[in-house]
């Protein structure tokens, strides 16, 4: 007769207890398991992580503590409570920094503005703010975007129309914004967006690196660090991607250092002129860190915002019609091109601005932010915070809080942004948090709106965008809210 061994008996007992425990807790949004903590539920819902987190937050009053497996130091306070967000980002700003966990995960950013704290962050922000507010720089931004729209985007879309091609708009926007930000920051155009849609190593490296950065958030720290140490799995590819990015950046920095005579007008040259001096030029590492932070911000956030915006507009014909009507009403004449709107004309497009804000509310490009407390504190929700506690606030969930946005918070409704007098309704940044809040609010907010409006006008006025039938729209698992399968569309020329 076959006798069960001790191993089989223990396994059977474990499975019985696990199934029994699951049956008792299957109707709760998040279950705390023995030893494993809440990690199994997180992993099970990973493909739909943002809506899952939103559900858990909603059922816990906007704040809960995620408890990870034993001995992994994965306990995280998660919140979407706007009062907590305001407290963390503004009221007690000095007590909440990026922290060690963020620094380790995002080591690729160096000491740039997104990863740094205290005096290093203040220096970066002050330097960039002084440059961004200059009129000459704003004119440069406008001309750069306009030139790329004419020479790249519209040329490609005309080609796609003639060939009857299906187009992945997400890929097109990533190429477009990468070309733009490379020219703005480094003074060169990698020409990712052309009819051939070439494979540009550096542009692809950014995309793949983001995926690894996200997975570092859900893996135990020791595990991804072990993979990095032995250079296996996705950490091996991450090292290769970082090398590709660094080689491109250091090559451009070196060429600028060696340049004689009058320099080109670009952000890196402006920084080298304003922050350095003849005797002690800025070191390569500072320029590299500043550049990679600006490239990441200028490419990914804007391309993500545009992708979700065009999907929402394409699936809401009434909104599309109103945007078109507004654009045409503000054109100098029917014969004039969209570029004749100019910067002042862009500011008159109230409904378009509301539609962009609505897209960013529902699908913020950076869906999660995390901080670390320096000292003990108590949040407005009553939750106690110990030193070094990791805090994650969900920008995705803040945009879905009914107390802020109403019972129709899941609807795409640009009208919610427009006052009775026809102006834009101001919403505090800790409620409309797509550009973060407090002292670390995005410096490039105005630039982002300018680029998104210019792209939206150029496309909508010239083309009708139709999403391919049954194309799945699912957020990707990344630190930036991209679409997992891209945005496949058919493009048809519009008769004005």
Where b means 16+ CB within 10 Å and e means fewer, 463-481 reads bbbebeeeeeeebbbbbbb
Query: What integer pLDDT is reported at residue 226 of this predicted model?
Result: 92
Long-range contacts of 375-382 (CB under 8 A, 24+ apart): 375/95, 377/92, 377/95, 379/63, 379/77, 379/79, 379/81, 379/83, 379/84, 379/87, 379/88, 380/81, 380/83, 380/84, 380/86, 380/87, 381/61, 381/62, 381/63, 381/79, 381/81, 381/83, 381/84
Dihedral (Cα; 267, 193, 482, 218), 10-degree rounding: -70
In the chain, domain spans: 28-493
- State phi, psi for 33 to the nearest 5 degrees: -90, 150
Q: Residue ranges of the alpha helices (H) in 133-192?
A: 135-148, 154-163, 169-186
Give, in order, the Cα–Cα distances in Å from 206 to each of 234, 253, 442: 14, 18, 20
CATH number of 28-493: 1.10.630.10
3-class SS letters over 290-327: HHHHHHHHHHHHHHHHHHHHHHHHHCCHHHHHHHHHHH
Q: Nearest CA to 355 among 490, 441, 463, 455? A: 455
Helix axis angle, 118-132 relative to 284-296, nearest 10°? Answer: 70
CA–CA separation, 413 and 316 (whole Å): 10
Q: With H, G, I as helix, E, B as strand and everything else as coil, classify residue 123.
A: helix
| Confidence at residue 1, expressed as pLDDT on a 0 to 100 scale | 41
DSSP 8-state secondary structure symbol assigned to residue 384: E
CA angle, residues 173, 174, 175, in degrees to nearest 5: 90
Give the tokens for residue 399. 């945009």
Tokens of 306: 């545009």
Under a CB-based contact definition with an 8 Å cutoff, are residues 466 and 314 in contact?
A: yes
Task: Give residue 218's pLDDT.
Answer: 76
Query: Cβ(120)–Cβ(417) under 8 Å?
Result: no
Q: Distance between alpha carbon 130 and the CA centroid of its chain, in Å?
A: 24
Q: How far apart are CA 360 and CA 206, in angstroms?
A: 22
**How far apart, in whole angstroms, are the C-alpha atoms of residue 200 and residue 158?**
22
**In DSSP terms, which residues pair with 466 in a beta bridge?**
490
CA distances from 438 to 131, 176, 202, 259, 429 (A): 20, 30, 33, 39, 7
pLDDT number for residue 84: 98
Q: How far apart are CA 489 and CA 161, in angstroms?
A: 11
The DSSP bridge partners found for residue 392 are 78, 370
Q: How far is CA 221 from CA 33, 217, 253, in A?
A: 20, 8, 33
* Phi and psi torsions of 312, nearest 5°: -65, -45
What pLDDT shows up at residue 234? 92
Confidence at residue 11, expressed as pLDDT on a 0 to 100 scale: 47
Q: How far apart are CA 73 and CA 84, in angstroms?
A: 23
pLDDT for the residue 382: 97
pLDDT mean for each 10 residues of the chain (496 residues): 47 46 51 70 83 93 85 82 97 94 92 92 94 92 95 96 96 97 95 95 90 84 91 94 95 83 82 71 88 93 97 98 94 66 85 98 96 96 94 96 96 97 95 96 95 96 96 92 97 85
The answer to whether the beta carbons of residues 469 and 480 sit under 8 Å apart is: no
Please write down the HEC assignment for all residues of 190-237: CCCCCCCCCCCHHHHHHHHHHHHHHHHHHCCHHHHHHHHHHCCHHHHH
State both tokens at 236. 């091996």
Strand 76-79 and strand 390-394: the pairing is: parallel
- Any known ligand binding at 442? yes
Orientation angle between helical segments 302-314 and 445-462, nearest 10 degrees = 40
């Amino acid at each position: 007769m076959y006798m069960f061994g001790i191993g089989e008996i223990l396994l059977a007992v474990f499975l019985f207890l696990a199934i029994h425990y699951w049956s008792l807790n299957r109707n709760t949004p998040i279950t705390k398991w023995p030893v494993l903590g809440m990690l199994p539920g997180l992993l099970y819902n990973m493909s739909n992580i943002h809506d899952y987190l939103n559900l858990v937050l909603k059922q816990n009053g906007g704040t809960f503590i995620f408890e990870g497996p034993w001995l992994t130091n994965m306990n995280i306070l998660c919140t979407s409570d706007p009062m907590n967000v305001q407290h963390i980002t503004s009221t007690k700003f000095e007590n909440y920094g990026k922290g060690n966990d963020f620094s380790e995960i995002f080591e690729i950013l160096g000491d740039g503005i997104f990863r740094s704290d205290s005096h290093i962050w203040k220096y970066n922000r002050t330097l960039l703010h002084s440059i961004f507010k200059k009129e000459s720089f704003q004119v440069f931004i406008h001309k750069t975007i306009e030139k790329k729209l004419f020479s790249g985007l519209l040329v490609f879309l005309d080609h796609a129309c003639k060939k009857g091609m299906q187009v992945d708009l997400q890929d097109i926007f990533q190429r477009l914004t990468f070309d733009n930000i490379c020219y703005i920051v480094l003074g060169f155009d990698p020409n990712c967006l052309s009819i051939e849609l070439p494979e540009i190593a550096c542009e692809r490296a950014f995309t793949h690196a983001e995926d690894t950065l996200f997975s570092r958030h859900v893996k135990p720290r020791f595990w991804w660090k072990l993979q990095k140490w032995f250079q296996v799995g996705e950490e091996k590819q991450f090292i290769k991607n970082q090398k590709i990015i660094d080689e491109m950046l250091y090559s451009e920095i070196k060429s600028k250092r060696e340049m004689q005579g009058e320099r080109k007008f670009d952000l890196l040259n402006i920084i080298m002129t304003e922050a350095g001096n003849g005797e002690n030029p800025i070191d390569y590492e500072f320029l590299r860190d500043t550049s990679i932070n600006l490239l990441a911000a200028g490419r990914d956030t804007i391309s993500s915002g545009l992708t979700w915006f065009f999907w929402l507009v394409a699936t809401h014909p009434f909104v599309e019609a109103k945007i078109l009507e507004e654009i045409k009403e503000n054109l100098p004449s029917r014969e004039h091109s969209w570029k004749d709107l100019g910067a002042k004309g862009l500011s008159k497009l109230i409904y378009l601005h509301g539609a962009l804000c609505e897209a960013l509310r529902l699908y913020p490009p950076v869906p999660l932010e995390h901080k670390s407390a320096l000292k003990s504190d108590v949040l407005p929700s009553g939750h106690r915070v110990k030193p070094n506690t990791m805090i994650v606030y969900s920008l995705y969930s803040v945009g879905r809080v009914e107390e802020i946005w109403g019972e129709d918070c899941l609807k795409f409704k640009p009208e919610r942004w427009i006052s009775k007098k026809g102006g834009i309704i101001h919403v505090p940044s800790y409620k409309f948090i797509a550009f973060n809040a407090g002292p670390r609010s995005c410096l490039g907010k105005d630039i982002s709106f300018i680029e998104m409006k210019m792209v939206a006008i150029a496309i909508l006025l010239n083309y009708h965008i139709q999403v391919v039938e049954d194309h799945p729209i699912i957020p990707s698992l990344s630190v930036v809210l991209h679409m997992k399968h891209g945005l496949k569309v058919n493009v048809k020329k519009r008769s004005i």
